Structure 1
């Protein structure tokens, strides 16, 4: 989930597409969030891929296009699900593409993964005919989402399937009462980020059904995946919360009052029980909406 093919990191979560070069340290932080997202939400990704496979229809899925592949959460989930398939993983970040290739090599999947550098707000490469396109947290970053959908339709073979995954924002980790005198901190941070996103990524959280129809797709399904993980959490959950909150802290620098900023610092790097690595009341809550749309056989 997650997360598109150019690299706008307007948020600290699993969006990874930006025309502006980022420092390697910033990209390393983003890669950490993406990889922890895939690890902690692995069961959700598998459930989504199982549903996608059941919905794929009569055509075999042998060639998959992952738009905005990041570090490969979608790529590797789909390779496990579609054992005869190869993936063309598209991202404009050399650092993230390198991380993806290294992971593919470590998993023995290098011969099934092909990375492509592309800015999908510019001219699209000729991807050839593909059977399935995966666009997780991608379309809301496009400067012209309708054009991107038309290009996606052109890349698909007739009868091919597009999966669009949209986020409801960052995952939620904390109880309302943190026990440090600042109830509602996470809600305030999310509201502040929502204001920033309204300017930078106004399509975040969009209903993609009408746009898919306008682009010539037949929308076959829309499904909400609500994820709520409670104790005992996966081992990486604390590090995931820490990484996301650290990027949130950076994104909201100057937008929070001093008390909220101080509490966030305690949650992220404090040496007491407030630190998310030590909290027993941590949870992971998020929602992802998925649209399955097919390019008609007649096109």
Structure 2
């Protein structure tokens, strides 16, 4: 992706720095049904022949789009070599290696590499990471085929995993961590939470639809949900530790202790709750 690489997915693309392959893969697994519902909702009368996935991460959107549009070829763009390598592995495992072209590129660069003339461009949890997303929207407008569709998916916030009032030793811990994370993001990700519908209109698109997907998984529907929560909370700690009280930091570390009796993996009430909003915009 670009600066830093998101997902994506869920994002999940807000969980710290460094290689995010694990959290992106878990995000893809846990939220697969919700991603599929977004691709099914897209207002397309015919299946696109060429799709571009901007900021593809490890391929959550890529694989969902290939499954939704079995006749399409897809160009996956990301700045992370590790993410693109993982995407290749997943495409090969899905029998779709011959349908995917990977391009390593920084989407904050003044000029993008040649990406063809797609009928569909997908950007999931990537636009808010860009230094100048308005310029990126204009570049997508130029890139798309006439009448082509641009799908923008953005997270409304970091996922929540604990019930209200938990944990017992630090009630409200998750909300305090989220407040600290919001401050952290306000400094580093100024475009997070932007009005993408308005920005798309300003870039020359016609917004044909917007939809918010509510995610509520659990408690503990899958083992992957527990691993997802653990990985996400570890990254959350990396971003907010300095803003927490010693008591809250100790409580958070107890949740992250995989061997302790109060670890997140041992909680029977663990769930995954979040929201994603998708905008479908037409180049007219």
Sort the TM-score into its range (normalised by shorter chain): over 0.9
Name the CA distance, whole Å, in 2 between partners of 1:166 and 1:219.
15
* Among 236, 245, 263, the residue aligned to 1:275: 263
Listed one character per residue, the Cα deviations across residues 113-148 of structure 1 (whole Å, up to 9, x for unaligned) are 111011111111121110101011111111111110
**Residue 196 of structure 2 corresponds to which residue in structure 1?**
208
- After the TM superposition, which residues 188-199 of structure 1 pair with which residues of structure 2 at under 5 Å, given as runs? 188-199=176-187
Name the CA distance, whole Å, in 1 between partners of 2:31 and 2:145.
30
Q: Secondary structure at the match of 2:122?
A: strand
Name the CA distance, whole Å, in 1 between partners of 2:267 and 2:13.
29
CA-based RMSD of the aligned residues comes to 1.9
Q: Does 1:42 align with 2:32?
A: yes
**Residue 249 of structure 2 corresponds to which residue in structure 1?**
261
Q: Secondary structure at the match of 1:130?
A: coil
Name the CA distance, whole Å, in 2 between partners of 1:242 and 1:15.
12
Name the CA distance, whole Å, in 1 between partners of 2:12 and 2:270.
23
* Among 91, 102, 117, the residue aligned to 2:78: 91
TM-score, length-normalised on structure 2? Answer: 0.94
Q: Secondary structure at the match of 1:39?
A: helix
Q: Does 1:14 align with 2:24?
A: no
Name the stretch that deviates more: 258-267 or 70-79: 258-267
Q: Does 1:169 align with 2:157?
A: yes
Structure 1 gaps, min length 5 = none
**Residue 157 of structure 1 corresponds to which residue in structure 2?**
145
**Residue 133 of structure 1 corresponds to which residue in structure 2?**
121
**Residue 65 of structure 1 corresponds to which residue in structure 2?**
52
Contact 1:104/1:113 (8 A) holds in 2: yes
Closer, same or farther: CA 15–139 of 1 in aligned 2, 3 Å:
farther
Deviation at 1:10, TM superposition (A): 8.8
Name the CA distance, whole Å, in 2 between partners of 1:165 and 1:217.
16
The size of the alignment, in residue pairs, is 280
TM-score, length-normalised on structure 1? Answer: 0.89
Name the CA distance, whole Å, in 1 between partners of 2:26 and 2:283.
33
Q: Secondary structure at the match of 2:219?
A: coil
Contact 1:9/1:15 (8 A) holds in 2: no
**Residue 227 of structure 1 corresponds to which residue in structure 2?**
215
Deviation at 1:230, TM superposition (A): 2.4
**Residue 80 of structure 1 corresponds to which residue in structure 2?**
67
Name the CA distance, whole Å, in 1 between partners of 2:167 and 2:61.
37
Contact 2:120/2:148 (8 A) holds in 1: yes
**Residue 242 of structure 1 corresponds to which residue in structure 2?**
230
Contact 2:58/2:86 (8 A) holds in 1: yes
Q: Does 1:102 align with 2:106?
A: no
Deviation at 1:14, TM superposition (A): 2.5
Name the stretch that deviates more: 69-78 or 137-146: 137-146
Contact 1:62/1:86 (8 A) holds in 2: yes
Deviation at 1:273, TM superposition (A): 3.4
Listed one character per residue, the Cα deviations across residues 4-31 of structure 1 (whole Å, up to 9, x for unaligned) are x2141699962659xxxx7xxx31xx11
Contact 2:53/2:121 (8 A) holds in 1: yes
